[in-house]
Structure 1
Amino acid sequence: MKRQITVGQELPPLIKGPISHVDLVKYAGASGDFNPIHTVESFAKEVGLGGVIAHGMLTMAYVGQLLTDFAGNEADLLDFSVRFRAMVRPGDTITCLGTITKVEPVASGLLASIQVSAQTQNGEVAVKGSAVLRFDQGEVDVK
């Protein structure tokens, strides 16, 4: 069955967390980003952050998962960019959201432009951005 893609359609939300200190240490190891503001509480306090903060790229990765979960095997991620707007801390739960803003038929299929965001349990927007998915011809219907 073909998937329907509609302007205004919301992607199924992705909820991650609560973020733990162990998550930050694991991400530091996976990414190679060992900046102590992400893993050493005393250092993060000393530099005025009030405690460790999650890697911005970890929050972006969660939004990337939202997109790839939605795309499945039927689409390619062509473009993805975000702006980091607020810090994420251990204990925060992140909800990733997306809304299709434009659908454009092209020779190779269909382009779907998507506005994305990630927000904390308090509604604070940590990441905001956009993405473009290309769905293969014959996999989708436009409504």
Structure 2
Amino acid sequence: MELEAKAILLIQQLGFTYSRQEILRSINKYASDIYVSFQHKIESKLLSTKTDAGVLCIQDLGRYLFKIFIPEVEQSTLVLRAFCHEKKLLQKQKRPAEPFSVDFWSDFKVYRTQVKDDEDPLKWDRIRAREERRIDRQI
């Protein structure tokens, strides 16, 4: 329902005419196509003669199957953790550093954009090191 509402709002903002059924059909078709494509890629990797998935440990198999997602997952994880630390939102932290809005994801998106726009080539190493130091202090 949320995706449908956002799609309808976007279409209205762009001034297009629409049919609710056409929107839902298009969204479902696109999502289905992407999911089927994803399934086929995973299946072909699992059954490939190039790499024997049956002998890989679970961790290596996960890396092999999902390697295209690994950099994004790691970076997103780093940014999420850094965001929560800076806003003092984690359980062990006493109180928020500043008043925190109810819209976590909107605030996170702003933070993520700031990190993404940072042109420092070592930004991911810097963020990773800072988060590792924070973890060490917690232990």
What TM-score does the superposition give when structure 1 sets the normalisation length? 0.26
Structure ranking higher in strand proportion: 1
Q: Which has the larger radius of gyration?
A: 2
Between the two structures, name the one with larger relative contact order (CA 8 Å, sep ≥ 6). Answer: 1
Structure ranking higher in helix proportion: 2
